[in-house]
C-alpha cells in the first residue's frame, strides 16, 4: 500500500535565485507512505555544477526509520544523474521522524523519498 504523498514542498529552503532573476531552482520531495510522521524534512541543495550546466534530474533514496525517528540504511535506489545522489543522501540523513511510543509496534516497511531537481522559469511581475 505505497501511495505517494506530496509533502507540499517546492521548498523555500531548496528554492533560491539563479544569476537570472527570472529563474528559481526547486527540489520537490515525494515520500512513500510508511506510517511514520515526518518531524523534520530537509531538502537537498542543488549542486552548483549541475545548476551551472543546467542539468535536471531525479533521485529515489530508500531508508529505514528507527524507533527514535532517525533514518538508517540510507541508499540510492534510482538516479538519473549521479550529481544529485550525495545531496539527496545528506538530506535524508538530516531528516527526522516522530519517535514511536513505548507501546507502539515498529513497521518493517522501508521508506523511499524521491527528489526531483528542476530548473523552472518564473515569470517576473
Q: What are phi and psi of 51, to 5 degrees?
A: -65, -45
Q: Greater confidence, 90 or 104?
A: 90
pLDDT at 11 over 80: no
Range of the domain at 23: 4-121
For residue 117, the number of C-alpha atoms closer than 13 Å in the C-beta half-sphere is: 27
Point out the least confidently predicted range of 12-16, 105-109, 113-117.
12-16
- Summarised one tens digit per residue, pLDDT across range 33-55 is 667 788 888 999 999 999 999 99
Question: CB neighbours of 112 closer than 8 A, spacing ≥ 6?
Answer: 31, 32, 60, 61, 62, 63, 77
pLDDT value of residue 54: 93
Count of structural domains within the chain: 1
Over residues 80-100, the pLDDT tens digits come to: 999 999 999 999 999 999 898
Q: Identify the CATH number of the domain in which residue 116 sits.
A: 3.30.2420.10
Between CA 3 and CA 5 the distance in angstroms is: 6
Amino acid at each position: 500500500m505505497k501511495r505517494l504523498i506530496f509533502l507540499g514542498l517546492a521548498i523555500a529552503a531548496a528554492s533560491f535565485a539563479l544569476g537570472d532573476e527570472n529563474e528559481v531552482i526547486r527540489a520537490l520531495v515525494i515520500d512513500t507512505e510508511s506510517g511514520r510522521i515526518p518531524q523534520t524534512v530537509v531538502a537537498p541543495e542543488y549542486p552548483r555544477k549541475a545548476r551551472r550546466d543546467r542539468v535536471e534530474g531525479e533521485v529515489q533514496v530508500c531508508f529505514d526509520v528507527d524507533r527514535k525517528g532517525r533514518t538508517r540504511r540510507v541508499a540510492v535506489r534510482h538516479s538519473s544523474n549521479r550529481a544529485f545522489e550525495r545531496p539527496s543522501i545528506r538530506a535524508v540523513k538530516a531528516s527526522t521522524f516522530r519517535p514511536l511510543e513505548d507501546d507502539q509496534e515498529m513497521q518493517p516497511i522501508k521508506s523511499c523519498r524521491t527528489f526531483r531537481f528542476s530548473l523552472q522559469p518564473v515569470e517576473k511581475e
